[in-house]
Amino acid sequence: MNSFVISGGTIVNEGRSFVGDVVVRDGVIEGLSQSGAEIIDARGMLVLPGVIDPHVHFREPGLTAKGDMATESRAAVMGGVTTVLEMPNTSPATTSLELLEQKMEIARTKMATRYGFFVGATSQNILNDIPKFNASKLLCGVKVFIGSSTGDLLVDDERLLSKLFAEYEGVIVAHCEDEAMIREASERLRRQEPDATAAIHTRVRSEEACYRATARAVELADKYGTRLHVAHISTARELALFSGGDVAAKRITAEACVPHLWFSDDDYARLGNLIKCNPAIKTKRDRLALREALKSRKIDVIATDHAPHTLAEKLRPYWDAPSGIPMVQHSLVAMLELFPPELVVEKMCHAPAVRFGLEGGFLRTGSPADIVIVDPNASWVVGRDNIDYKCGWSPLEGSRLFRHRVVRTIIGGRSTFVESR
């Protein structure tokens, strides 16, 4: 099915909602002529652009017990996600164009979504490879960890950061937490509270650690005119570093992730390590500030930071449990529970497309037919029987009754997921 009409749905696009038809011919949005086309009845449904998630960890190569490109992209499609941008901290980490090409070769046969990949900044490739990165059409940006990470992906040296921010011409995505502060807090608190629970995570990875590193990144970007995207803002205090306005006019943009918009530190008592992630989920006040910043356009993009681990790993004692939450299958429906669909589409479809120069993200004539149809009057609960992550669990299990449900996902005019109720 590559030519069809989605008829009678509430189309949500570019700040407007209206009942109408979307006509697709040969995988491209065409217009309103219905001649000879199959009809998809979308009466009572929301018709949205496919979601673009610019921050996922699909774990392949090397960490495939947790997830892989096939399983996690299939879960993404079930959640209405049609494009993902995948992060470099796999095993080995994606730190060169050669390793990027190897990852893309895997993706060609496994990915159910459209995709792009980041290269991770290291001391070595900042010194040697920035001209190659600037010339390459393969990568969607460079990810820099200004804070704790795995392997050699931490870049905390001022000289190297300055070189990267001054010379790289694409978008730099920054994980901002102050490494020295985290290391000191971790060592001190581990001695004091060896049997700590996940409730301590906000003290290990504090507001100050986030603010200090984010301020540092923004200062460097201002100094060198860098195209900077700050990942997973988690505190109210950091918001003072960003301005409102149209994402297309910004050089520095900010991202909020679904876990920081959905949970608060009150949830550690119930969910423990299941919501342990970096940066830490913080207070209700921080969560409210992030939600308001989406409306004021200080935060430009909603992503997931989808990062699956096995349940056995997450059930270890706090100090030994890994950080990361699986979320890509449930991000769209969760955000539709919190925000008007026009805002969700702006932050999860339009803005990521504009920020990273991607096709899709809009319902426009000539755009790829990447479309998601959502039932806004469903009644269902996340459970083991409907989770499609390889890890098999979600912190959203049994948490509440969802009213929105993805019923069809279309990529390039082809239905890649159709609900089988």
Q: Which residues are part of the catalytic machinery? A: 305
Nearest Cα neighbor of 257 from 314, 350, 334 is 334
Residue identified by tokens 């509440």 is 400
Instruction: Could you list the beta-strand ranges (E) of 208-300.
Output: 227-230, 252-257
Burial 179-208 (b: 16+ CB within 10 A, else e): bebbeebbeebeeeeeebebebbbebbbbe
Q: Which helix (H) or strand (E) element contains residue 56?
A: strand 51-56
Q: Which helix (H) or strand (E) element contains residue 10?
A: strand 4-13
Using a 10 angstrom Cβ sphere, with 0-12 exposed, 13-18 middle and 19 or more buried, the burial of residue 357 is exposed
Decide: helix, strand or coil at residue 75: helix
The span from the CA of 253 to the CA of 47, in Å, is 27
CB 331 within 8 A of CB 302: yes
